[in-house]
Amino acid sequence: MEITPQQLAEQLKSGSDAQIVDVRETAEVAEGMIPGARHIALGELAGHLDALDKGRPVIAICRSGRRSAAAADQLTAAGYTAYTVPGGMLDWTAAGFPVS
């Protein structure tokens, strides 16, 4: 399933309980992440699934949307309700949404 940066920003504003997982590499997240996001690189995701709450939706984000789509597929297969952000952080920052 997909969620646009605009929809994600609205959810965050309205107090959504979704878990945001940034699946980029460490050097990439140094450029900034969505406030409140958790960093778990895509290659490490399978080993960190227990750190996520299966009862809350997970929104995966990366630089452009390709890795987050793979992460959402992996999460869905593991029983999570998962979304990907097409356009990723490129579209998030282009829209002027905050990074920390």
- Catalytically active residues, by annotation: 62
Q: What is the CA radius of gyration of the chain?
A: 12
CA–CA gap between residue 98 and residue 26 (Å, rounded)? 19
Q: How many CB atoms lie within 10 A of CB 52?
A: 18
Q: Is 91 exposed, middle or buried (0-12, 13-18, 19+ CB in 10 A)?
A: middle
